Chain A
Amino acid sequence: MNFLKRTIPLIIAFVMGILMAMQYYVPHKLSQDLLEVVSKWDRIIAGFAVFIGAYSLLHLHWTRIKRKVEGWGYSVFVYFGAIITLFFGFLNGGKFFWNDKQEGTMFDWLYYYIQVPAGATIFSILAFFIASAAYRTFRARTNESTVLLIAAVIVMLGRVPIGNYISQYIPAVADWIMAVPNLAAKRGILLGVSLGAIATSLKIIFGIERSYLGGGD
């Protein structure tokens, strides 16, 4: 049983890892077809993974409703939103879900008038929180924090017309900050992250990193 539970997953990860790493260096149609097929398989598996997320979220809110914890009434709106969207999504403008997706249906209406405005508003509200957090934490206590503060102010001013009114050099300096020191630092971070990603990938392929298998036997 341990062979099925532990050894087979390690063999699958090893075979898939080596196969896909080698595939990149084989410029043959078969190799390209293999990549296409496994990418499609990956998309199908990702599609199933969505149901795990959906179950987890609905289960959480169902538990809140069942136990009548404080604010349980708001969880009803999660179910209401999900059920109404799923209903109109599967209804597909009267053509049902087994046909291609229709345009201009009630599902699209829900997307344009609930999903889009609410999503954009939630993200835009972060402008206030970032500004308030910056006011509290951006203190020029050290040379490094002063540099950070100045870079942030110049980039912010360089992106709005008032920056140009104050000085015509501010937008140019903002562009220079983005194109030179910011690029250099990002490139350094990216190189480090890439080396780390390769090391982790090798550890997964050779079975050194096994945390994805989870706990238990």
Chain B
Amino acid sequence: MRKDSNFFILVGTIGLFVCINIFLMASGKLPFSFDGFGVILGVGLTLAIYSFLYKDNPAFKIAENLYVGVSLGYTIIITWFNFLKPDLYDPLIVPMFSKAATKAPQYALIIPSMLGIFMLLRFSRKLSWLSRWTFAFVVGLGAGVSIPRVISAFILEQTKPSLHPVFSGGETIFSSINTVLILLGVISVLIYFIFSVEHKGTIGTVSKIGIWFLMISFGASFGYTVMGRLSLLIGRIQFLLRDWLGILQ
């Protein structure tokens, strides 16, 4: 009985959606073009995904799986046009096989191509060990590149403003207090994360202050994330009311 009612709700909603779109197209509010059908498709997906707020249903699952499939296809195509074509196909394959090519092939690119193919051998039982060479290259490269840059950008550049003079002339009393608070916050948070010392006495008090700073930061991050998601929600509602129904101008 309940399954029947769910089925009727689904069919009724789809029927209502179709009727609204026929009306919008007939009245000229939606153009009878690819863009018009695109808006209908976008609205359909938006409503199907929001239907999950009521409960899990086939419309949501179809929209979700379609989104996954399109995202997969999009990622492959963008990877081809943004990375593989300009960095590999154009400088290596085209000059090798095209007589009209003016530049010589960059044979050095065979090395990353081989490493890329080695990585795909992950699926072979006998040759999967070759993928280790690729992972070693990528991981070693990442480790080597990150060490000096992390020291420069995240340690030195972050430590410098934390050690800013409290009074160097021209500051207000509030900015001086803020400078002290930032220094206190950084030190107390770092001390909180030192687990090799028991958090008792002075260390315990300072780490407690660190927890307070962390709690304020987590609360602020939470509030910021919620507002970010809400602005996306407002964007979707604007899409429904302006682009689809034409109520907002």
Q: Is the CB of B143 within 8 A of A205?
A: yes
Question: Which of A24, A117, A119, A185 is the one whose CB lies under 8 Å from B185?
Answer: A185
Chain B contacts for A214, CB-based, 8 A: 132, 135
Chain B contacts for A194, CB-based, 8 A: 150-151, 154-155, 158
Question: Which of B62, B81, B142 is the one whose CB lies under 8 Å from A77?
Answer: B62
For the residues of A in contact with B, the DSSP-based class is helix
Q: In the docked arrangement, what's the CA distance between A78 and B224, Å? A: 33
Mask, A1-17, CB within 8 Å of B = 1, is 00011101110111111
Interface assignment of A150: CB less than 8 Å from any CB of chain B: yes
For the residues of B in contact with A, the DSSP-based class is helix
Interface assignment of A165: CB less than 8 Å from any CB of chain B: no
Chain B contacts for A191, CB-based, 8 A: 154-155, 158-159, 186, 190
A151/B220 contact (C-beta < 8 A), A42-B141, A120-B235, A128-B53 known: yes
Total contacts A-B at CB 8 Å:
399
Q: Is the CB of A155 within 8 A of B220?
A: yes
Of A25, A110, A125, the most chain B CB neighbours within 10 A belong to A125
Q: Is the CB of A181 within 8 A of B213?
A: yes
Chain A contacts for B67, CB-based, 8 A: 81, 114-115, 118-119, 122
> Which residues 78-136 in A have Cβ within 8 Å of B in the complex?
78-86, 89-90, 97-98, 100-101, 107, 109-128, 130-131, 134
Nearest Cβ on chain B to A100's Cβ, whole angstroms: 8
- Give the total of A residues in contact with B, Cβ under 8 Å: 130
A145/B215 contact (C-beta < 8 A), A44-B112, A79-B69 known: yes
Q: In the docked arrangement, what's the CA distance between A100 and B181, Å? A: 54
Q: In the docked arrangement, what's the CA distance between A134 and B219, Å? A: 11
Q: In the docked arrangement, what's the CA distance between A12 and B148, Å? A: 19
Q: Is the CB of B116 within 8 A of A48?
A: yes
Chain B contacts for A16, CB-based, 8 A: 136-137, 140-141, 143-144
Chain B contacts for A10, CB-based, 8 A: 136
Q: Is the CB of B230 within 8 A of A127?
A: yes
Nearest Cβ on chain B to A42's Cβ, whole angstroms: 6
Nearest Cβ on chain A to B41's Cβ, whole angstroms: 5
Q: In the docked arrangement, what's the CA distance between A131 and B225, Å? A: 11
Chain A contacts for B215, CB-based, 8 A: 144-145, 147-148, 151
Q: Is the CB of A180 within 8 A of B120?
A: no
Q: Is the CB of B76 within 8 A of A50?
A: yes
A127/B136 contact (C-beta < 8 A), A21-B148, A47-B84, A81-B70 known: no
Q: In the docked arrangement, what's the CA distance between A86 and B79, Å? A: 12
Mask, A189-217, CB within 8 Å of B = 1, is 11111110110111011000000111010
The stretch of B17-25, B44-52, B164-172 that contacts the partner chain? B44-52
Q: In the docked arrangement, what's the CA distance between A174 and B126, Å? A: 59
> Which residues 223-249 in B have Cβ within 8 Å of A in the complex?
223-227, 229-230, 232-233, 235-236, 239
Q: In the docked arrangement, what's the CA distance between A13 and B85, Å? A: 27
Q: Is the CB of A190 within 8 A of B108?
A: no
| Chain B residue at minimal CB-CB distance from A85 | B73
Interface assignment of B196: CB less than 8 Å from any CB of chain A: no
Question: Which of B76, B115, B159, B182 is the one whose CB lies under 8 Å from A184?
Answer: B182
B-side residues, CB < 8 A to A, are: 34, 38-39, 41-43, 45-46, 49-50, 52-53, 58, 61-77, 79-81, 83-85, 87-89, 108-109, 111-113, 115-117, 119-120, 122-123, 129, 132-151, 154-155, 158-159, 162, 178, 181-190, 192-193, 210-227, 229-230, 232-233, 235-236, 239
Known: A17-B144, A128-B53, A202-B143. 4 other contacts (CB 8 A): A122-B64, A181-B213, A189-B193, A190-B158
- 7 cross-chain CB contacts under 8 A: A17-B143, A37-B108, A81-B72, A117-B43, A130-B229, A182-B221, A191-B159
A-side residues, CB < 8 A to B, are: 4-6, 8-10, 12-21, 23-25, 35, 37-38, 40-55, 57-58, 71, 74-86, 89-90, 97-98, 100-101, 107, 109-128, 130-131, 134, 144-145, 147-156, 159-160, 174, 176-195, 197-198, 200-202, 204-205, 212-214, 216
